[in-house]
Amino acid sequence: MTAQIITIGDELLIGQTIDTNSAWIGAELTKTGFDVTRRISIHDLRDDIIDTLNEVSGRSDVILITGGLGPTSDDITKQTLCEFFETRFVTDYDVLEMIEGMMKRRGFPMNDNNRRQAEVPESCRVLKNATGTAPGMWFEKQGSIFISMPGVPYEMKYIMQEHVLPELNKRFSSRSIKLKNIMTYGAPEALLAELLTGFEASLPGEIKLAYLPSSGIIKLRLTAKGDKTNLPDEMLQQQVEKLYRTIPELIIAEDEENFETVIGKLLREKGLSVCTSESCTGGRIAHMLTSVPGSSAYYHGSVIAYDNKVKTSLLGVPQNVIDRYGAVSSETVALMAEGARKILQTDFSVATSGIAGPDGGTETKPVGTLWTAVSSASGTITQTYRFGTERSVNILRFSTASLHLLWKQISGL
């Protein structure tokens, strides 16, 4: 059970668009039991599309294709598929009706570009798209299934969830593959690998371990391939327990992607609330926490004090503290956390002050310096970190480090 993903679009090759579709499709297919062997991105060029289709045809069970189905003239996927599968265009009146309804609701006039989107290759099965004007298409040839979908992420996701995944689940009696992700924080990759040398060496052959570092968090992924005599779930569970014995202080959670979801669950369970006051992270922590659906149950809000005046006027940090210790200091960040907790009326509060760069660094406080504080009824603790020189990386690593400190306090470690 193998799959390949082809994403079509000049914008992917010249780097104007990051290919998030491939990642999402890869994750969904993996869950369904497929081994995604390859992802390919190519230009909106007939020859490149035909060459690639010929290359993958018959070599994988399923080929998922996104992109190039828009209404504009640079979108040529549909006619190229029509050519590849040696068929012709017909109008799908159900699709036409859907597009007409959609344009009406949005208050835009129907034009020829829209009408052309209801033309589909005769030999395909049309996969209706309730979220946009380009339908998906399902073809079969030489033992491979080819599925073409729009490149707009939420349209692709709709078609995958509504049509493709249910059908693939039915058609392929899934092989027994199970994954377990263990989220760790606090040790760099080489050190973590050293700590896990013995663990790795003693892994059974059916289980593979991978390290996935991402802005400070390293996820350990265990993949087990088993059958009815050797259930992958059981094998995995044994190894997870062994991991907990090997690196107890580094494991944050299982099957979680990030601190914001872990913290969200903890706060819900304990019926507690949190607020933020951010300087250098400029709203990033707030954005991470509120990305979680239902976060309004425990997240009250934030004061983003980018300007020092806001630290004094809203958060009540005395000007003489800032003058004496600096805005980037243990003293200031502690008072920010306490001030925010008071005015936003929460159980916990996390604050940041640091130098994200590229400018603003000094000899003693270079770019990459962070002070973070967590305040609660049991007191306020602060911590400092030194990261690198790249602004966007720093903003993310500052946020992750602060959420780690918050998580430790909430979970009472």
Interaction with a copy of itself in 92-151: which residues (CB under 8 A)? 106, 108-109, 111-114, 117, 131, 133
By beta-carbon proximity to a copy of itself, the closer residue of 24 and 123 is 24
Own/partner pairs for 49-58, CB < 8 Å, 24+ apart? Answer: 49/8, 49/76, 49/77, 49/80, 49/84, 50/80, 50/83, 50/84, 52/6, 53/6, 53/81, 53/84, 53/146, 56/4, 56/6, 56/144, 57/141, 57/142, 57/144, 57/146, 58/142, 58/143, 58/144
Tell me the window of 64-72, 76-84, 162-170, 263-271 that interacts with a copy of itself (CB under 8 A).
64-72
384 binds a copy of itself (CB under 8 A): no
Cβ-count burial 124-142 (b if 16+ within 10 Å, e if not) = bebbebebbbbbbbbbeee
Q: Which residue stretch of 33-41, 163-171, 226-234, 244-252 sits at the interface with a copy of itself (rule: CB under 8 A)?
A: 33-41
Closest separation in Å from C-beta 314 to a copy of itself: 6
Residue number, 379 or 410, with CB nearest to a copy of itself = 410
Query: Which residues between 291 and 320 bind a copy of itself (CB under 8 A)?
Result: 291, 293-296, 299-307, 309-310, 313-314
Q: 225 with 206: CB under 8 angstroms?
A: yes
List the x/- string, 326-345, binding to a copy of itself by CB under 8 A.
Answer: -----------------xxx
The nearer residue to a copy of itself, 168 or 304, going by C-beta atoms, is 304
Q: Does 48 bind a copy of itself (CB under 8 A)?
A: yes
Nearer to a copy of itself, 235 or 315 (CB): 315
Total Cβ atoms within 10 A of residue 10: 16
Rounded Cα–Cα distance for residues 148 and 401 (Å): 41
Tell the smallest beta-carbon distance from residue 213 to a copy of itself (Å).
7
Q: Does 166 bind a copy of itself (CB under 8 A)?
A: no
H-only helix segments in 107-231: 112-116, 153-159, 165-171, 189-195, 197-201
Q: Which of residues 390-409 bind a copy of itself (CB under 8 A)?
A: 390-393, 395
Task: Please tell me whether residue 357 binds a copy of itself under the rule CB under 8 A.
Answer: yes
